[in-house]
């Protein structure tokens, strides 16, 4: 009797108000229809290639490799996508799907603002109305992205409830969706929330690992020893892992935000500090207290500042197929600066968490080993915040 749709082991499911059930069922049916539709896929590929600048480069970071003195490091340059992050991969897919479903309005949550900007962009391109919910705290940390969304014609609603960050933006977007369903698609930005979102978003982000596989075989004639990416909800990480899950010799490494450290309360490292729970439509791991109250998490990175993790990651952790490590603010900021100086690439502070872990493990690996690090977004948006972190006040 129980519908076990969208389960990854025990994780996933559809823990949402009855009001939304027909909407997610309709979405699942539409997705199952269009995902195998040649015309839909042709349109999406055209958008990804001609509009979003795919395929993204797999760049051999020679100087970084030589400086660290260990494994060869390749960077998957999602930061070079149109709008500056991997988020556009998913958004173009969902916006096209929403359009086919006859929806005229997109709503979205955003943390760092990258998903909000991507959604605002797709809405502008496809002539759809767009409303983005963003924690008030994040509208301050990421003021530039707020302006970009408004410039693109979207409404940005600052969310003041709770910790006024990504978690509250998700809650508010869900509330708005229950309020207005018939013309509205909730363009969820990560591999989280109720089924079918974790599957849909994964499939649209899987283009990352599909390309990495092809590109690394062309360049090196073999698969990498490890692929790594930062994890908040986990969309760029699942995109990076997906086509390698069956290749048991490829290590999959997700880098969580430890904030000020996993032994402090100011952390967002869900696998390191969370426990099994039910929130935001899914069963997965969440940072929470002994009574199930969701913890007010913290990370310098607005995009990783989330108390949960997508259900497929929770499953990859349970089975031991993927490893999850915690990276502190300090380590991420150092990596942000290090990659900028070494390669002339300014990564998003989110992506810098993955770079930081690469900096830890590459020197310990043999020179014939290969690591791929996904640079999920570019760091222009973070410059003012990192300057402030270093005690320098600059105007955006």
CA distance 5 to 44: 26
Question: Which of these ranges, 64-72, 223-231, 286-294, 341-349, lies near other proteins under the rule CB under 8 A?
Answer: 286-294
Of the residues 244, 285, 286, 324, which one makes contact with other proteins according to CB under 8 A? 286
CA distance 239 to 176: 28
Of the residues 9, 158, 162, 261, which one makes contact with other proteins according to CB under 8 A? 162
Question: Which of these ranges, 21-29, 34-42, 225-233, 311-319, lies near other proteins under the rule CB under 8 A?
Answer: 21-29
Structure tokens at 209: 């690992």
Q: Of 217 and 276, which CB lies nearer to other proteins in the complex structure?
A: 276
- Active-site residue identified among 72, 76, 87, 167: 87
Does 48 interact with other proteins (rule: CB under 8 A)?
Answer: no
Does 214 interact with other proteins (rule: CB under 8 A)?
Answer: no
Does 8 interact with other proteins (rule: CB under 8 A)?
Answer: no
Question: Which of these ranges, 63-71, 205-213, 223-231, 272-280, lies near other proteins under the rule CB under 8 A?
Answer: 272-280
Report the alpha-carbon angle 142-144-148, nearest 5.
Answer: 120
DSSP characters over 55-103: SPPEEE-HHHHHHHTSSEEEEEEGGGSGGGBTHHHHHHHHHHHHHHTT-
Q: At closest approach, how far in Å is the CB of 359 from other proteins?
A: 35
Q: At closest approach, how far in Å is the CB of 66 from other proteins?
A: 47
- Active-site residue identified among 28, 109, 137, 312: 109
The DSSP output letter for 364 is G
Active site residue 109: yes
Q: At closest approach, how far in Å is the CB of 322 from other proteins?
A: 24
Q: At closest approach, how far in Å is the CB of 201 from other proteins?
A: 19
Half-sphere exposure of 201 (CA within 13 A, CB side): 28
Does 29 interact with other proteins (rule: CB under 8 A)?
Answer: no
- Listing from the earlier edge strand, what are the strands of the sheet with 370-375? 58-60, 72-77, 370-375, 226-231, 251-259, 322-328
Binding mask 170-199 for other proteins (x = CB under 8 A): -x--xx--xxxx------------------
**Spatial contact of 287 and 297, defined as CB atoms under 8 Å apart:** yes
Cα 221 from chain centroid (whole Å): 29
- Tell me the sheet residues that pair with 75: 59, 373
Beta-carbon contacts of residue 52 (< 8 Å; ≥ 6 apart): 81, 82, 83, 88, 89, 92
Of the residues 126, 277, 318, 369, which one makes contact with other proteins according to CB under 8 A? 277
Q: Of 199 and 215, which CB lies nearer to other proteins in the complex structure?
A: 199
**Spatial contact of 9 and 313, defined as CB atoms under 8 Å apart:** no
Q: Of 182 and 393, which CB lies nearer to other proteins in the complex structure?
A: 182
CA distance 327 to 357: 7
Q: Of 49 and 179, which CB lies nearer to other proteins in the complex structure?
A: 179
- In 3D, which of 184, 86, 82 has the Cα closest to residue 125? 82
Does 22 interact with other proteins (rule: CB under 8 A)?
Answer: yes
Q: How many residues bind other proteins (CB under 8 A)?
A: 40
Does 102 interact with other proteins (rule: CB under 8 A)?
Answer: no
CA distance 368 to 381: 35
Q: At closest approach, how far in Å is the CB of 158 from other proteins?
A: 14
Question: Which of these ranges, 71-79, 130-138, 262-270, 284-292, lies near other proteins under the rule CB under 8 A?
Answer: 284-292
Of the residues 151, 217, 278, 394, which one makes contact with other proteins according to CB under 8 A? 278
Q: At closest approach, how far in Å is the CB of 181 from other proteins?
A: 6
Beta-carbon contacts of residue 51 (< 8 Å; ≥ 6 apart): 82, 92, 125
Report the alpha-carbon angle 322-53-114, nearest 5.
Answer: 60
Catalytic residues: 87, 109, 376
Footprint on this chain of other proteins (rule: CB under 8 A): 1-3, 5, 13-23, 161-162, 167-168, 171, 174-175, 178-181, 275-281, 286, 288, 290-294
């Amino acid at each position: 009797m129980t519908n076990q749709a969208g389960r990854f082991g025990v994780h996933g499911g559809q823990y949402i108000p009855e009001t939304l059930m027909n909407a997610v069922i309709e979405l699942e049916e539409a997705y199952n229809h269009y995902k195998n539709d040649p015309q839909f896929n042709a349109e999406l590929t055209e958008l990804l290639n001609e509009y979003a600048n795919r395929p993204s480069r797999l760049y051999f970071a020679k100087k970084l490799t030589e400086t660290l003195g260990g494994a060869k490091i390749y960077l998957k340059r999602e930061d070079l996508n149109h709008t500056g992050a991997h988020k556009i991969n998913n958004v173009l897919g969902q916006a096209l799907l929403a359009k086919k479903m006859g929806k005229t309005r997109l709503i979205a949550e955003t943390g760092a603002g990258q998903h909000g900007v991507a959604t605002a962009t797709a809405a502008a391109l496809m002539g759809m109305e767009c409303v983005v919910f963003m924690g008030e705290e994040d509208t301050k940390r990421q003021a530039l992205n707020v302006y970009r969304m408004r410039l693109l014609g979207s409404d940005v609603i600052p969310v003041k409830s709770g910790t006024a960050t990504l978690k509250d933006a998700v809650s508010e977007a869900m509330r708005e969706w229950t309020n207005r369903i018939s013309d509205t698609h909730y363009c969820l930005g990560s591999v989280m929330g109720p089924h079918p979102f974790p599957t849909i978003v994964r499939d649209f982000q899987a283009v990352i690992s599909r390309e990495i596989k092809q590109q690394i075989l062309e360049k090196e004639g073999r698969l990498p020893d490890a692929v790594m990416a930062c994890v908040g909800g986990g969309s760029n990480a699942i995109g990076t892992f997906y086509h390698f899950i069956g290749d048991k010799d490829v290590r999959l490494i997700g880098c969580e935000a430890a904030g000020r450290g996993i032994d402090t309360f100011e952390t967002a490292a869900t696998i390191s500090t969370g426990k099994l729970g039910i929130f935001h439509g899914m069963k997965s791991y969440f940072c929470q207290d002994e009574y199930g109250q969701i913890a007010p998490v913290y990370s310098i990175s607005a995009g990783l500042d989330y108390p949960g993790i997508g259900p497929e990651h929770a499953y990859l952790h349970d089975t031991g197929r993927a490893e999850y490590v915690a990276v502190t603010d300090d380590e991420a900021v150092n990596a942000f600066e290090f990659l900028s100086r070494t390669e002339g690439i300014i990564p998003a502070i989110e992506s810098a968490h993955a770079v930081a872990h690469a900096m830890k493990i590459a020197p310990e690996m043999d020179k014939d080993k290969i690591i791929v690090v996904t640079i999920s977004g570019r760091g222009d948006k973070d410059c003012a915040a990192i300057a402030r972190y270093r005690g320098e006040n600059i105007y955006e």
